[in-house]
Structure 1
């Protein structure tokens, strides 16, 4: 479970996702000596998950940990082969190389963040605000003039990371998380990036999902 299990040692990663969440909650917030539950542990105020796909022996979930003082939760995504209980990797599901997917995610990220920054320019027109938001987005080399409006000389920004992924019935989903405090929440972009299965080289594990959803249409 990545960050969640970095400091929670007793989680059985071969157990069901529901059982793992219960183990995380107990180690986080239950005092074995006093035999009582604390409201939160290590700043944690809530734990939950969303099922994104449960089909053809594949389970993909989004795991959230809420912390005191943060507007939105820390999220990680887990995908399992229910026949074996094994957590799946990127290479288990798609034949596209991480470098190829990273380039595609990088382009999608840059376009979305550029569009968001353009919206900030239209809504605020304040170079100080633009500078602050562009720093949050890790976008560089922008300028604004009365004649041209907002212009970015380069398309690069934060480096794409393809380690956080999930499955939906018709698409592979990658994520780019933009860290923001509650004071900047209005500038938070959609952190989900979808890649239709039709545009990917799928491994055999995913083929039954594709076929099942074609049959439903």
Structure 2
């Protein structure tokens, strides 16, 4: 009887599984991401590589990921293993062959780390942080792949919003953020010389130092920037499960990094015109939200 009861309970549990929980990830829909690394004094490279059911697609992606760092050197043997390529790159930038010591800083590219922003529904999006001469750089770079083909995707392949419209909306968002950042400088320091210097770093010639965070930033398709707002075409982009990320980094000397604003601008898919390649991702969101609410 105990065995029968356990069997019946097992059937009950099996029948009670919701479709969302029972759904399985299809082969190739997600990549298995692993890290190839090389370390030495003043050197640290972490480069992602992927495994997929389609080995040819995985090789195509892995070559492009390695080229993100190896293209900076003419001394790297592209036929060598990924770890060997990183070793060659590290020795070129940061090892003194004559004294046989690792240099504290090195020259050129001396490090790279990464973060996976999205890995589902045949889409894989990375963010990379580089170091030059041993110092981490403020701006990031990004790559987004189609896991079906291994191709790098362009922004136009992801959203149908026109370049001019995205340009206006990003420019408007940048202008609002920089003005709020400048207002914080005014409130925190109150030094007119410093305020003028930061305003110049931000490219602001006239400003209202009243913070505008209470105002809603409209990133909808119909949003229009004022005539004075900068128009910046988005060249850096990435994906996360709920939004398109656009990036704009302000160039400034390292001593001024405390005034460096966040480079990331979030545009929810609901306020964009996603193309067909994003539809499976959008359809997955309600399922994820429903599963999350049930687990609470």
TM-score band w.r.t. shorter chain? 0.7 to 0.9
Show structure 2 runs of 5+ residues with no match: 1-63, 212-225, 290-296
The gaps in structure 1 that reach 5 residues or longer are 13-18
Q: 1:177 aligns with which of 244, 249, 264?
A: 249
Q: What is the total number of aligned residue pairs between the two structures?
A: 200
2:102 aligned with 1:30: no
Aligned pairs for 1:1-217 (under 5 A) are: 7-8=72-73, 25-26=86-87, 28-31=89-92, 42-68=107-133, 70=135, 72-142=137-207, 156=228, 159-217=231-289
1:81-128 deviation line (CA, Å, top 9, x unaligned): 011110000111100011111111111000010001011111112221
Name the CA distance, whole Å, in 2 between partners of 1:196 and 1:84: 26
Instruction: Give how far 1:68 is off.
Output: 2.6
Q: TM-score, normalised by structure 2?
A: 0.59
Cα deviations across residues 176-209 of structure 1 (Å, max 9, x unaligned)? Answer: 1012333212211111000000111111111111
In the aligned structure 2, how far is the partner of 1:124 from the partner of 1:135?
A: 16
Provide the C-alpha distance between the structure 1 equivalents of 2:148 and 2:130, rounded to a whole number of angstroms: 27
Secondary structure at the aligned position of 1:92 is classed as helix
Which portions of structure 1, spanning 4 or more consecutive aligned residues, are displaced by more than 4 angstroms? 1-6, 8-12, 36-41, 154-159
> What is the alpha-carbon distance in structure 2 between the residues aligned to residue 155 and residue 116 of structure 1?
21
Instruction: Give yes or no for contact 2:179–2:207 (8 Å, CA) kept in 1.
Output: no
Whole-angstrom distance in 2 between the partners of 1:186 and 1:135 = 15
Partner of 2:17: none
Distance 2:72 2:203 in 1: 29
Superposition RMSD on alpha carbons, in Å?
3.1
Q: Comparing 168-177 with 120-129, which one deviates more in the overlay?
A: 120-129
Residue 38 to residue 161, structure 1, CA distance change in 2 (3 Å): farther
Separation (CA, whole Å) in 2 of partners of 1:180 and 1:104 = 24
SS of equivalent residue, structure 1 residue 205? helix
